[in-house]
Structure 1
Amino acid sequence: MGSSAPKACLRVQGTDIVDADGKRVILKGTATGGHTNMENFITGYPGHEHEMRAALLEVLGPKKYEFFFDRFLSYFFTSSDAKFLKSLGLNCVRIPINYRHFIDDLNPSEIKSGGFVLIDRVVDACSAEGIYTILDMHTFPGGQNQGWHSDSGIHKALFWDFKDFQDRMVNLWVEIARRYKDNTWVAGYNPMNEPGDPEHYRLQEFYKRVEKEIRQVDPDHILFLDGNTYAMDFSGFKEVLPNCVYSIHDYANMGFPGNEQYRGTEEQKEFLRKTYERKVAFMKEHKVPIWNGEFGPVYANRQSDGDEWEEINRWRYELLGEQLRIYRGDEISWSIWLYKDIGFQGMVYANPDTAYMKLLKPFFEKKKRLGLDKWGRDDKHVGHIYQPVVEHFKEEIPERFLNKRYPPHWRVEGQINRVLRDMLFSDISCYEYASYFEGKTEEELDELAASFKFENCVTRDGLNEILRADAALDSVEVHRCKGLRL
């Protein structure tokens, strides 16, 4: 039996999100990344979603291509997934969206109705379990940032340079708001995931414009606004918009390969806190709510990480627990990244014995060895190939210019890897990925897609128990349990 709809939309009241009765609501949940916005490390392809889709279309042909993705999108998130999240006590799901589900770049003035069908499935499955949803636009024409997850295929954020791109997305948001304005299970709209505006001021202009246009058709829903430079920087923000929650992303490098391993030292804990406090300084100064829209480490496994995989994961769970303790101190809302994948970060993941995992196992192993995915990249097998290129740049470019390219925290190493591996090598590798699907029947394609059904997935119990324990803490218990060790 579905849950009755809230009487009114959630809204901002001071530093809180409140319901129709003025009761504070702390949103705690996860994101369906890899579904209505796909990403390489989540489902195993290389590079960018649109490149992977083009390669699969060439191999499968239009009929089988449509069949496979229809099944994949149907299976990836169902009522079973929503029931599982409800069983953990989570009350919110962030839905990352690729704009291409709504807009064809060759016919950008027409909004495709099929996009709403996909989003409705998730919203309806969650609302039936009493779970709020947040609609997150994860990709933009031209790319709102320089990363693979904007699905632009390039290393520049051209969205900021073309008003035509901006007009398209404002118009799309108006139509989305028109569609969901009366749906009180939708907690709000996240207009742009991880902006990367090199000039900093254009992001605020876009937010003001899209907020104004959305309010014309939907005056009630909250907007969740990411900071600039991948939701980490609010230094260029000058004002607070009404009924808006401001969003950080708070990934800790200590939870990823190739970085200092988290060991729970006081210095490491202090570093986590200082990083968080820097990100939320704007919200605390202006006394507005905080939402941590993405965070969470990645996890090791026996097959690819050797005998130390359990010890690695133990410390990464400790890291996650420490982050949650910091968030409880400010009683903020959060959405962990990620719900479902092929075994790297998800709360649940496709069973290694499923058809998709067995078919593509050799390719996954090769992709990991080559370090093609930026997310959790390990260079132990190919560092000797790329490091000379980095050294060449450092030898030929004066030091004061090396890291001027935005975003500066990527440094020259990150810029080189973005172009050579995330783009060129990965784009070409899409054809190899697609070749595994050659000659597959519709029955076989259905079985491959069904690998992502909840019933065919493994639950990551260590992670889920930590989230369950935190979700169980209500606003009163927060004060009693600040010292809880998960």
Structure 2
Amino acid sequence: MRKAFYSLLFAGLLAGCQSNSSQTKENETPASEDFVRISGQDLIQPDGSKLFIKGTNLGNWLNPEGYMFGFNKTNSGRFINEMFCQLVGPDFTSDFWKKFKDNYITRKDIEFIASTGANTIRLPFHYKMFTDEDYMGLTAAQDGFARIDSVVNWCRDNHLYLILDMHDAPGGQTGDNIDDSYGYPWLFESEASQKLFCDIWRKIADYYKNETVILGYELINEPIAPYFKNMDELNAKLEPLHKRAVQAIREVDKNHIILIGGPQWNGNFKPFKDSRYDDKLMYTCHRYGGEPTKEAIQEIISFRDSVNLPMYMGEIGHNTDEWQAAFCKVMEENNIGYTFWPYKKLDGSSFMSIQRPEGWDKIVRFAESARNTYKEIRDARPDQTEMKQIMNAFIENSKCENCVPQEGYIRSLGLQSQK
């Protein structure tokens, strides 16, 4: 049945499609009107029509998160990598990450997303993909541009826009597992990290300055968790850093929109005092849980109205289909586009569900075990040959053709379930 499903799904995906109005000829410099632009609280496409963002996030692919593998304590990319190295050794772990990046998201995944009627993908990435630091199986020869280039090409072929999201910033912007940090938002205390942050964005903007498939650059994901006693002091440092990064981008790229998120899980916009330091700014908020009502996001709506700029829900999800459908209705009624989190993960609550390989619970047990001493690592480690087979099975199960589409989830977002 699954093979029949995919045969029907992918057959003719591109048939009858008109050429993408935002695509430019090779070596041709696009005009400013070829990019998505801002008009008050709306996004306007190159053909003059309004863009209401509907889509998903390619979470876990270029910034692994523990819960998407079924882990709890081992919850950041750095922790996962260390655990795998303890389990099967660094060489196999490097090979695993390379295969993971090659197979977790492919052209077929982007085609599937487009087939649902989505129009936008948000791509979270780790800053290390643009440095010479060790990351996901590579050292000095990082593959950040190559990975994003492939997504750009797949999005162009399938008429999707792409938002680039620096999910993990130098030094850590959040101080929790989601930014792969050391437990504190050191970015706001470190001049070296801030310079690297701006330099990477300038490099990315220079590389993609003529790419009209890219809707915009999301500077920083969910800065400053609400756990710190000096939270207000940290919050006050966010807007100056935004301005510094925007200035770096504008040295090379005058056309792309820049997306700004608030502190405390992209939910607090009170620290922002100046919305007019750039003429192509929009804002992004996140929401998990709570009531699916307008009242639940009234502060976000009021801020959006006060600055008269677009607001978009970059992350939302992990709830019932009924809750998601109700919240999508609220967002549409209030002109707030959305990309649900995430596209794919173990055990569903996403567009695509990855099936657990047989024996995966053994890896989960090792990940959750005490590994504070070498003796504890030795005592907890299961058979390495078997663990390698299970990890390879995870790669196989994560391929698009082997995942299970979550039809109710997709319909709840106002998109089309494929059968």
With the length of structure 1 as denominator, give the TM-score of the two structures. 0.71
Cα contact 1:59–1:434 (8 A) shared by 2: no
The structure 1 residue matched to 2:299, chosen from 272, 278, 286, is 278
Distance 2:323 2:379 in 1: 34
Pairing 1:222–2:257 present: yes
Instruction: Return the match for 2:45 from 5, 19, 37.
Output: 19
Aligned with 2:286 (options 232, 244, 249): 249
Correspondence for 2:186: 158
Q: Following TM superposition, by how much is the alpha carbon of 1:428 offset from its aligned partner in structure 2, in angstroms? A: 8.3
SS where residue 358 of structure 1 aligns? Answer: coil
> How far is 1:460 from its partner?
1.1
Q: CA RMSD in A?
A: 3.0
Note the 1:25-424 alignment, pairs <5 A: 25-45=51-71, 46-105=74-133, 113-154=142-183, 156-196=184-224, 198=231, 199=233, 200-240=235-275, 241-253=278-290, 268=291, 272-298=293-319, 316-352=320-356, 357-364=357-364
Residues 427 and 227 (structure 1 numbering): CA distance in 2 closer, same or farther, change over 3 Å?
Answer: farther
Percent identity of paired positions between Structure 1 and Structure 2:
25
Normalised by the length of structure 2, the TM-score is 0.82
| Structure with greater helix percent | 1
* Structure 1 gaps, min length 5: 254-267, 299-315, 373-423, 472-486
Contact 2:348 2:406 in 1 (8 A): no
Contact 1:52 1:434 in 2 (8 A): no
1:415-449 C-alpha deviation (Å, 9 max, x unpaired): xxxxxxxxx96988996999458236987754431
1:95-137 deviation digits (Å, cap 9, x = unpaired): 0101122224589xx9855111122222222221111110000
| Cα distance between partner residues in 1 of 2:256 and 2:303 | 22
* Equivalent of residue 4 in structure 1, options 20, 28, 34: 20
- Cα shift at 1:331: 2.2
Q: From the superposition, tell whether residues 282 and 358 of structure 1 become closer, same or farther in structure 2 (CA, over 3 Å).
A: same
Q: Could you tell me how far apart the structure 2 residues matched to 1:295 and 1:101 are?
A: 25
Question: CA separation of 1:56/1:277 partners in 2, compared to 1, >3 Å: closer, same or farther?
Answer: same
CA contact (8 A) 2:87 2:382 kept: no
Deviation at 1:363, TM superposition (A): 4.8
Alpha-carbon deviation of 1:275? Answer: 2.2
Instruction: State how far apart, in whole Å, the 2-side matches of 1:185 and 1:442 are.
Output: 38
Amino acid corresponding to residue 355 of structure 2 in structure 1: N
Secondary structure of 2:385 counterpart = coil
* Alpha-carbon distance in 2 for matches of 1:428, 1:20: 58
1:366 deviates by 9.0
Q: Deviation per CA, 1:17-47, whole angstroms, max 9, x where unpaired?
A: 1122332111111001110011111123422
Q: Mind listing any 5+ residue stretches in structure 2 that lack a counterpart? A: 1-13, 24-33, 226-230
Q: Which amino acid aligns with 2:338?
A: W
- Cα distance in 2, alignment partners of residues 163 and 281 from structure 1: 34
| Aligned-partner Cα distance in 1 for 2:20–2:271 | 41
Deviates more, 1:442-451 or 1:325-334: 442-451
Report the alpha carbon displacement of residue 279 of structure 1 after superposing the two structures with TM: 2.1
Compare 325-334 and 168-177 and name the one that shifted more: 325-334
Residues in 1 aligned to 2:308 and 2:372: alpha-carbon distance in whole angstroms: 44
Q: Distance in 1 between matches of 2:118 and 2:347?
A: 21
C-alpha contact (below 8 Å) 2:121/2:162 kept by paired residues = yes
Distance 1:365 1:51, change over 3 A: closer
On the 8 A contact 2:21/2:46 being kept in 1, the answer is: no
Answer yes or no: is the 8 Å Cα contact 2:260–2:281 preserved in 1.
Answer: yes
Matched-pair contact (CA < 8 Å) for 1:44–1:364? yes
Contact persistence 2:171–2:187 (CA under 8 A):
yes
Are positions 1:448 and 2:391 aligned together?
A: no
Letter of the 2:55 partner, please give it.
Answer: G
Secondary structure, counterpart of 1:6 in structure 2: coil
- Counterpart AA for 1:174: R
Are the counterparts in 2 of residues 248 and 280 from structure 1 also a CA contact under 8 Å? no
